[in-house]
Amino acid sequence: RTHLVPKKAMNILNPYRRPSNQNIKIFFICHTSHKDYVLSFYQNLKEGVNTEKKYYKGLEAYVNIKATASKEHFIEFTNENDPIPEIVEQLESLTFDHENVKYAAFYISPFDKFTPDPDDREIYIRIKELFLNEGIVTQVVDYEKMIINIQDQYNFQFSLQNMALAIHAKLGGAPWKLAVTDKKELVIGVGAFTNQGENRRYIASAFSFQNNGLFRNFEYFNQNETELLAGSILKAIRDFTSVAQADKVVIHFYKEMSYEELQPIIDGMNKLKLGVPLYILNINKTEAEDMIAYDVNWGDKLMPVSGTYIRIGVNKFLLFNNARYPSDRFYSDTDGFPFPIKIKISSSDDDAFEDVEVIEELLTQVYQFSRLYWKSLRQQNVPITIKYPEMVAQIAPRFNNGVPEDAKDTLWFL
């Protein structure tokens, strides 16, 4: 069954694909003084909230996965400013049945993600890496926010929905996919994140085979590693075309591609003798505040309907990506009023734009890929082909030993 709005669909439909391993166990990592609240949190996560208007009725009801608590893996620490040694010591004494069980660890963080101390912010990164090396996905929960949420069950359910969604995806499930006719297309997304502390930009590329948006794998690089980036993209093209004759290759790039970035890809495709068009979409996620459009027929809110696009130059467009749909009678301000994104479409092939419908197809694809974000139900204005790589580039370079190879095809970073 299909639906237009994921946020509404999740309340009435089952996820598209459950994690392959249905023997799922959850355990917690928390400060000793916080463990009394963990039980309340777990009960709400597993069984749902206690409120009259109930949208979250528990993990199984919401994302169709059964999970049990793994009490023998519960980890508690006493030093909240330096918990890693205690966690490592306990982790080394534990055994995990990875052949039969899929584990998810919830880290109850004493600090929120905006804490001013960079050392406190790094603790979660260390924990994420520790458990990823053990083959275990993690979900962070802000302790202070958790306490407030437990006391406000109505609003807590919306946080629980997002957590359940993210855990489902991290465990290998696919909450939903695009209801499109499968085509033999390869879509590659390249995003970036600048570490202000190091003044270094990291680039990550995320690959999605075919056009239904289901994620496959990623790599990440430093900004100056253009040959490695090109090699990674070419490998994805080669792997894809070895099992299917591609109709076209589409690259979503976070900025305008330079000659140094693009030429090795074109040369590589020529060597592969693919004979398929290559389309480059420069998607500018620095939101277009300098150019805007209004829908004067929509009261004082003015934001155009989601999916509206406007040509602003030769193969240049503004795309409005938001939660306002034509059939909606009401619009909640909490859904936000995001600026449109700028998209520039180009191709190295002379006849790439002979088909007049190809531009609309490419813009529609950007729009659709913006609806595949599984970290939360909030509508994104940037496609996951840009968003997910940025998230990887934000976290992975801070790992001490890089991302394990077997974790490059999972969404642990959500």
pLDDT in tens, 231-266: 888 888 888 887 777 788 899 998 888 888 888 888
Examine the domain organization and report whether 330 and 259 are in the same domain.
yes
Examine the domain organization and report whether 275 and 334 are in the same domain.
yes
Question: How many domains does one find in the chain?
Answer: 2
Examine the domain organization and report whether 289 and 382 are in the same domain.
yes
Write down the pLDDT at residue 243: 76
At which of 171, 193, 208 does a domain end?
Answer: 171
CATH number at 262 reads 3.30.420.10
Report percent pLDDT > 70 for the chain.
Answer: 93
Element (H or E) spanning 248, and its range? Answer: strand 248-253
In the predicted structure, residue 402 carries a pLDDT above the cut 90: no
10 Å CB burial of residue 131 (0-12, 13-18, 19+) is buried
| Phi, psi torsion values for 140, nearest 5 degrees | -90, 140
Evaluated on CA atoms 215, 218, 223, 226, the torsion sign reads negative
In the predicted structure, residue 3 carries a pLDDT above the cut 80: no
Q: Whats the size of the chain, residue-wise?
A: 414
| Three-state SS at 111 | coil
Write down the pLDDT at residue 333: 64
CA 189 – CA 110 distance, rounded (Å): 34
What residues have CB less than 8 Å from 15, skipping those under 6 apart? 63, 64, 168, 173, 174, 175, 176
In the predicted structure, residue 409 carries a pLDDT above the cut 60: yes
pTM given for the model: 0.89
Angular region, 77: left φ>0, alpha ψ -120 to 50, beta rest:
beta
Residue 228: domain span: 185-407
CATH number at 152 reads 3.40.50.2300
Q: Are strands 137-142 and 200-209 parallel, antiparallel or unpaired?
A: unpaired
pLDDT in tens, 363-387: 999 999 998 999 998 888 899 999 9
